Amino acid sequence: MTTTAPGPLRSNDPGSPYRGRPVPRALGWAVPGGGRAANAEPGVMWQGTTTQVCGLYPFAVSSGAAPPGVPIGHHMHTAEPIGLDPAEWLRQGLVSNTGMWIQGQPGIGKSTIVKRLMTGLVAFGFTAVVPGDVKGEYTRLVEHLEGRVWRIGRGLHSLNPLDAGPLRAALAQSSGQDYVRLEETIRARRLSLLEALVVIVRRAEITVTERRLLGVALDLTVEGTSQADEPTIPDVVRVLTNPPGQLLDIAACDNKLSFRRDVRDLVNTLELLCAGAIRGLFDRPSSISADLDTPALSLDISALDNDEDEVVAAAMLSSWAWAAAVIDGSSALGRRRNIFRVQDELWRALRVAPGLVERSDRVTRLGRHRGEISAQVTHSLDDLEALPTEADRAKARGMAQRNGVMVLGGMADKELAAVNQISPLTASEAAMVRAWAAPPTWVTGSAHPGRGRYLIKSGERTGLPVALSLMPSERDLYNTDLAWQDHTGQRR
């Protein structure tokens, strides 16, 4: 039986573009040259940047992401890659300074994003400095980056608070105005730190007379110290216990006996730094050395984590001051490096006694003109309210507000209200950060909704919601839950 292929159909629909003409079948005409296809290929998906696509489809808009910098994840709404580098953002005019404020609940990954940023910035040529690592959680990373870790504690290394570090070497190579400037910088930092240590031990402010006595005693101690040695706190105590006439005049005393009686509180406070709970830590010459040619440098004080607050505070402030001297000294010696400095748990030092916020700022002040990115990490703005005086709390809020970049993790409504006073959040941003605060159910085995999720804010511009995904090697290197794992590496 012979069949004949049906002829082409013709459309009689007045609205059809094929009216009066042959209509092609779904797969083409089954005639020679008719373009017959055995099957229809699926549609092809093309991708393009939002800048290009929005011209083709006007409802697509760019998210406003700032890609330059260390890759820290993808935009949670557009999947764009997000880079973070406050130094590069400063050069491009996106931020006014390179300070970073990082805040969120414990366990959501604050240290993780700091460690990712540290790893990337070191690869960009920065030197990472972690002064006063209270928990020792950056030690493994610093060692992995082939940096240097100094462990401070009893039976470990000691740190002399009056150690000027490389600033002394820079002073020896200077002359004229540069010499005077460096000399005054060293003196100001030594004196501010010495005052801070007295305030920590005493848990109260010092008097004007005591400040003058400390300044003169420090000057006399430095004059009596050889160029090969650094002054120590016991040296200052010896000057105060054997006072020259200059000190007697300041205290308005006629003889040494009355002087020792009047300043016994100050002398006993300094003696506690040498013979009290922190004996052997800050009353000896430093057993550590400075080297900014290393990719990373850390002062690990985790051995003191279980000590009294004043011990930890003294260790943190001394570490901050030493690190600042290292950075300034290396720059003065012409070995300038861009610095990424991490200050974690900073409020643990500042809440011990009044006036420590301002004094810590004096001994650690560097700034963007020194080529430094600073990251200040905290759990809660409630830490500000734990400071002793309203003046301290106001200065601490100013420290938070002055940072050019805020990185926010999951937090509750109370925290969001406080953050909103510093960096305004939209309703959708606040809802998103609030949703990251806690798991929605009691079902075990599910991932915490806020783990690895951050909102990056700068000024009043729309924030960047970022999801950070780790490489396998990073999961082990950045892990801060080692104490909760059994010998197989599984969570208990």
215/210 Cα distance (integer angstroms)? 9
Query: What are the backbone angles phi and psi of residue 201, rounded to the nearest 5°?
Result: -65, -40
Q: How many domains in the chain?
A: 1
Q: What angle do CA 282, 392, 396 make, to 5 degrees?
A: 90
The residue count of the chain comes to: 492
For 361, residues 6+ apart whose C-beta sits below 8 A from its C-beta are 395, 399
Residue 86's domain spans which residues? 63-123+389-492
Dist. CA 298–CA 122, nearest whole Å: 14
Token match 């730094």: residue?
Answer: 273
Domain-embedded: residue 455: yes
Q: What confidence tens digit (pLDDT) does each residue in 463-473 have?
A: 899 999 888 88
Per-residue pLDDT 10s for the chain (492 aa) are 444 444 444 555 555 555 555 655 566 667 777 777 767 677 777 777 766 666 665 554 445 555 688 999 988 888 888 999 999 988 888 888 898 999 888 778 888 999 999 999 999 999 999 998 998 999 999 999 999 999 998 888 888 989 888 888 888 888 888 889 888 988 988 998 898 889 888 888 899 999 999 999 999 999 988 777 889 999 999 999 999 999 999 999 999 999 999 999 999 999 988 876 677 788 888 888 877 788 999 999 999 888 888 888 888 888 888 888 888 877 777 777 789 999 888 778 788 877 787 777 766 665 445 678 989 888 877 777 777 788 888 887 777 788 889 999 888 888 888 888 788 888 888 889 888 887 656 666 566 777 889 999 987 788 899 999 888 888 888 876 655 455 455 544
C-alpha–C-alpha distance, residues 258 and 236, integer Å: 19
Angle at 116 between CA 115 and CA 122, to 5 degrees: 85
Question: Which residues have CB under 8 Å from 89's CB, separation 6+?
Answer: 66, 68, 69, 95, 404, 405, 458
**What mean pLDDT value characterizes the chain?**
81
CATH code of the domain containing 482: 3.40.50.300
The tokens describing 32, both together, are 């020679």
Q: Which two tokens stand for residue 144?
A: 């992995």
For residue 222, how many other CB atoms are within 10 A of its CB?
18
Q: Is 32 contained in some domain?
A: no
Beta bridge partners of 81: 74
**Dihedral over alpha carbons 265, 268, 269, 272 (to 10 degrees):** -160
What whole-number distance in Å separates Cα of residue 359 and Cα of residue 220? 22
Provide the β-strand partners of residue 406.
Answer: 101, 457
Tell me the β-bridge partners of 457. 406
- Give the whole-angstrom CA distance, residue 481 versus residue 458: 31
Question: Both tokens of residue 482?
Answer: 């080692």
Cα–Cα distance, 428 to 9 (Å, whole number): 56
How far is the C-alpha of 208 from the C-alpha of 308, rounded, in Å? 28
Burial class (CB in 10 A: 0-12, 13-18, 19+), 29: middle
Is 232 inside a domain boundary?
Answer: no
Q: Within a domain: residue 154? A: no
Locate 15 and state its tokens. 């609205």
Q: Does 290 fall in a domain?
A: no
Has residue 380 been placed in a domain? no
Contact 410, 450 (CB under 8 A): yes
The whole-number pLDDT of residue 262 equals 92
Q: Is residue 114 part of a domain?
A: yes
Residue 458 lies in a domain: yes
User: By C-alpha distance, which of 152, 165, 142 is closest to 296?
Assistant: 142
Give me the amino acid identity at 229. D
pLDDT the model gives residue 423: 81
> Can you say how many angstroms the Cα of residue 304 is from the centroid of all Cα atoms in its chain?
21
For residues 29 and 15, is the Cβ–Cβ distance under 8 A? no
Three-class SS string for the chain? CCCCCCCCEEECCCCCCCECCEECCCCCCCCCCCCCCCCCCCCCCCCCCHHHHHHHCCCCCCCCCCCCCEEEEEECCCCCEEEECHHHHHHCCCCCCCEEEEECCCCCCHHHHHHHHHHHHHHCCCEEEEEEECCCCCHHHHHHCCCEEEEECCCCECCCCCCCCHHHHHHHCCCHHHHHHHHHHHHHHHHHHHHHHHHHHHCCCCCHHHHHHHHHHHHHHHHCCCCCCCCCHHHHHHHHHCCCHHHHHHHCCCCHHHHHHHCHHHHHHHHHHHHCCCCCCCCCCCCCCCCCCCCEEEEECHHHCCCCHHHHHHHHHHHHHHHHHHHHHHHHCCCCCCEEEEEECCHHHHCCCCCHHHHHHHHHCCCHHHCEEEEEEECCCHHHHCCCCHHHHHHHHHHHHCCCEEEECCCCHHHHHHHHHHCCCCHHHHHHHHHCCCCCCCCCCCCCCCCCEEEEECCCCCCEEEECCCCHHHHHHCCCCHHHECCCCCEC
- Paired with 407 in beta bridges are 102, 456
